[in-house]
Chain A
Amino acid sequence: MLDGLTRRQFIEISACAMAAPAIGWPNEAAAAAAPAGGTLVVAAAAGSPRHFNSAVQSGIATGMPAAQIFASPLRFDDQWRPHPYLAERWELAPDGMSLTLHLVKGATFHDGQPITSADVAYSILTIRDNHPFKTMFAPVKQVDTPDPATAVIRLTQPHPALLICMSPPLCPILPKHVFDNGHDIKTNPANLAPIGSGPFKFVEYKPGDHITLEKYDRFFLPGRPKLDRIIYRIISDPSAIVVGLEQGETNFLPFAVSTRDLTRLAKKKTLGVTAQGYQGFGPINWLAFNLLRKPLDDKRVRKAIYHAIDRDFITKKLLLGFAQEATGPIVPSSPFYSAAVDPYAFDLKRANALLDEAGLKPDARGKRFSLTVDYLPIGGPEEQQNIAEYLKPQLKKVGIDVQVRSAPDFPTWAQRISNWDFDMTMDQVFNWGDPVVGVHRTYLTSNIRKGVIWSNTQNYRNPQVDQLLDEAAVTLDEQKRKALYAQFQKIVVDDAPIAWINIVPYNSVYDRRLGNLPTTIWGALSPMDDLYWKESHA
């Protein structure tokens, strides 16, 4: 459901500032006492964002600076708990059909105009109509504005993920008087010179080089932000990123994924490495099957392939122990994760038996059939290309001849996969906070949409799964929802439309002199208004 550029930026990106020990939330006392001033230089590896309007553009490249430029109604801590941000209070109606936001008094946009409920209404409806994650605000019927400080979001059905959809990467509040100017919102000139509502204001953007943000003096939270300036330095060469951090030219690298680079950077005394700040994203590395192709339409064949993959070898040997094995469609860091599934242990005998059972006998040379495997050609080879290469000799052990099909660039790959022109493909897909936003899209029959990447490109159809997901999308009771998702996970893991391989080991590398790194569930895509330098630096 992300479009091409978005996804590419997503994976490639890395950037900003983060700090040392795990911090709890708001940490007001520490923040108030923290020294102010200084510049943070973020290594942004994702390339140049298309623009800064995260209301219509998903992805890390846009999301990182946008989370500083725009404030959202709520923000979340590292325990998935909502906290006041632009909304100082909020009430969810008991029937789950509306959410009332009470805005902070005296908040202003960077041009000095007050932030009102009309802006909130405009922003939410803009996101509903334009954002690639359609499920986020699809149930929103209207947004009422009884007074300038109150916005009431009215729904057509209960929406359990509504609060998480109020968070910084998903719900930027735009100034209506700036963006509602008659231009198409997706190509609006204001997207590239945004007037925002967040702790930092936009100063300058040189595509391919840097983005400069500066402290907004009249930010609505007193004493924040601490930093004077954030510079996102856009660097695409992996070794330049490593050297830049080692030399202190950049201070923060979020979304770092190369385990070998991490091993090297972790040896440097001035730098710290943390895996905190990524729970919200829930990135899974997986092998997807095309269920339209024979013999992959046979569940036994898919199970056999899953059994033949040694995930222990992948996570320990190929990914050097940084990655965790994936067991199903929901990441273990999600509150809706269920471990009660039948696991696919590495078992070649079982794999062979399943293939025999499916009637796919080996020929004289031990070959049963041939399959191709594609892989996402961006974001470094470790998670994608290497594992595709690994599948070739590994599946040969059970008589499957695998031809690796490389794609020269992202559009080529996306074209093939979204048009169902593939047997198997390695892919990376995010859970995006709530299963409604990031998980449903991969498994719903209704989301089999030719030409749309990160939809149900597997052509997986299971009415029982559809029913469970539809019900979970409107169930407010968290325990009931957990039970529904547990059932969903059990069924879908048994059907194996996808062989989930590993959780992508995102890490942040940071200068140890930084305090209050963004370790919340949204990490570098949350406001860094309390981030500070513990001591002055050159």
Chain B
Amino acid sequence: MTLLDAGSGWQATGPAGMPEPPGSDEIAAGSAAARPLREAWRMFAGNPLALVGLAILAGIVVMTIIGPYLYPVDPFDIVGAPLTPPGEGGLLFGSDYLGRDMLAGIIHGGRASLTVGGFAAIITMAIGISIGALAGFYGGWADRVLMRVTEFFQVLPPLLLAMVLVTLFSPTLTTITLSIGVVSWTNVARLTRAEFLKIRSLDYVLAGRAVGARDRRLIWRVILPNALPPLVVAAALSVGVAILFESGLSFLGLGDPNVMSWGMMIGQNKQVMLDAWWPTTIPGAAIFAAVLSISLIGDGLNDALNPRLRRR
């Protein structure tokens, strides 16, 4: 095991410049791992757009966490006349088609939208990485079978497939999250597979193999950490995609009607779009801000984690 550990210590400063995989007992490797992380943060912090994105997202997250305590209005309560314009009747963002408080909707709705986004991204990554890693690592018939499955999912229009799934299992927050995860993992799988194909024949993997490391260790401890940079970016972006997905489903009337979300606010209020701008525009702007900030963060991560750019 000493040899192997030495191998992974070397790998941490190796070609991909990735942090030390967890579980190493070599202290020197630990400090070596801190360097690329610091380096990455330095790159990230030097990117003003990425910082703006981070600030916006942090603001949204804080708002959805503590907002409901600071502004404890039930987003479903009818608090005024329908379609009260923003600023009137003590309603900062006005009221929707039923007379519900738009501000409360934005604060509470963000919670659902972000939760769905986060969990759907986790599901997406879990499925995508597992399939991609197995296909890329083993190749051969495993690769062929898994890639055919991936292609099968890829040729189905994701929104339609998600609609079918939600329809089959009735729309609740859980089924919506699962369906989004289930339809959007294909790109992650292909990305993971490509990285694994590239890395599995590199010397340090061969070295690991030579000293008898098991497949599991090679996949999780050796290859995956080095394949992470593009996957981290993909994960960040998939949060944004999942938020858009949830909004799309809600817009089409397939949201969970008992949980306020930004997409549902737009979907339910689209019927009054010609009469009042705010019930659709305000949640639209919230979705825009959230997805844009995640996208900016994703770009920033991409630059920060790309060793070629770093060398420049």
Contact = CB atoms under 8 A, between A and B. Distances in A.
Interface of A: 258, 260, 264, 317-318, 377, 380-382, 385-386, 388-390, 392-394, 396, 403-406, 408-409, 412
Nearest to B167: A408
Given A260-B275, A382-B271, A386-B97, A393 B77 contact: yes
Interface string B65-78: 00000000010111
Nearest to A317: B82
B210 interface: no
Given A389-B257, A396-B77, A406 B171 contact: yes
Contacts of B91: none
Interface string B56-94: 000000000000000000101110011000000000000
B98 A318 contact: yes
A413 to B, nearest CB: 12
B257 A404 contact: yes
B253 interface: yes
B81 A317 contact: yes
A412 B170 CA distance: 10
B74 A393 contact: yes
19 contacts: A317-B81, A377-B253, A380-B271, A381-B268, A386-B98, A388-B257, A389-B257, A390-B78, A393-B74, A393-B76, A393-B77, A393-B98, A396-B74, A404-B258, A406-B171, A408-B166, A408-B167, A408-B171, A409-B167
Contacts of B163: 408
A264 B274 contact: yes
Contacts of A408: 163, 166-167, 171, 253-254
Nearest to B170: A405
A389 B82 CA distance: 13
Sorted from nearest, which 4 A-B pairs have the closest CB atoms?
Answer: A404-B257, A408-B167, A393-B76, A393-B77
B98 A389 contact: yes
Residue of A260, A264, A382 with most partner-chain B CB within 10 A = A260
A400 B254 CA distance: 24
Contacts of B78: 390, 393-394
B253 A317 contact: no
Contact of A406 (B77, B253, B272, B274): B253
B99 interface: yes
Nearest to A242: B274
Nearest to A390: B98
Interface in B260-310: 268, 271-272, 274-275
Interface of B: 74, 76-78, 81-82, 97-100, 163, 166-167, 170-171, 253-254, 257-258, 268, 271-272, 274-275
B88 to A, nearest CB: 16
A168 B41 CA distance: 78
A317 B268 CA distance: 16
A399 B271 CA distance: 30
A412 B167 CA distance: 9
Contacts of A388: 257
Given A393-B100, A409-B167, A403 B271 contact: no
Contacts of B167: 408-409, 412
Which of the listed residues B77, B271, B274 has the most CB atoms from chain A within 10 Å of its own CB?
Answer: B271
Contacts of B274: 260, 264
B271 A317 contact: no
Given A404-B257, A406-B257, A408-B166, A389 B275 contact: no
A534 to B, nearest CB: 31
Nearest to B168: A408
A405 B256 CA distance: 8
Contacts of B100: 393
B125 to A, nearest CB: 28
Contacts of B268: 381, 385, 389
Contacts of A394: 78
Nearest to A403: B258
A152 B258 CA distance: 58
A280 to B, nearest CB: 29
Contacts of B81: 317
A25 B254 CA distance: 47
Contacts of A409: 167
Nearest to A412: B167
Contacts of B170: 405
Contacts of B257: 388-389, 404-406
Nearest to B79: A393
B198 to A, nearest CB: 43
A407 to B, nearest CB: 8
B157 to A, nearest CB: 17
A323 to B, nearest CB: 14
Contacts of B253: 377, 385, 406, 408
A348 to B, nearest CB: 13
A380 B272 CA distance: 12
A386 B271 CA distance: 10
A240 to B, nearest CB: 14
A406 B253 CA distance: 8
A381 B81 CA distance: 19
Contacts of B98: 318, 386, 389-390, 393
A381 B167 CA distance: 18
A403 B256 CA distance: 10
Given A258-B271, A318-B98, A403-B258, 10 more contacts: A260-B271, A317-B81, A381-B271, A393-B74, A393-B77, A393-B78, A393-B100, A396-B76, A405-B170, A408-B167
Contacts of A381: 268, 271
Contacts of A382: 271
B277 to A, nearest CB: 14
A306 B271 CA distance: 27
A317 B99 contact: yes
Contacts of A318: 82, 97-98
A322 to B, nearest CB: 14
A502 to B, nearest CB: 16
Nearest to A261: B274
A308 to B, nearest CB: 13
Nearest to B164: A408
A359 B45 CA distance: 63
A399 to B, nearest CB: 14
Nearest to B78: A393
A148 to B, nearest CB: 55
B76 A392 contact: yes
Find the residue from A318, A377, A393, A404 having the highest chain B CB count within 10 A.
Answer: A393
Q: Which of A377, A389, A403, A409 has the most CB of B within 10 A?
A: A389
Contacts of A405: 170, 257
A328 B309 CA distance: 74
Contacts of A392: 76, 258
B118 to A, nearest CB: 24
Contacts of B97: 318, 386
A258 B254 CA distance: 21
A223 to B, nearest CB: 43
A389 B255 CA distance: 13
A389 B167 CA distance: 19
Contacts of A403: 258
Contacts of B77: 393, 396
A318 B96 CA distance: 11
A404 B258 CA distance: 6
A393 B81 CA distance: 14
A156 to B, nearest CB: 46
Looking at A390, A396, A404, which has the most chain B CB atoms within 10 Å of its CB? A390
Contacts of A385: 253, 268
Nearest to B257: A404
A196 B163 CA distance: 43
Contacts of B76: 392-393, 396
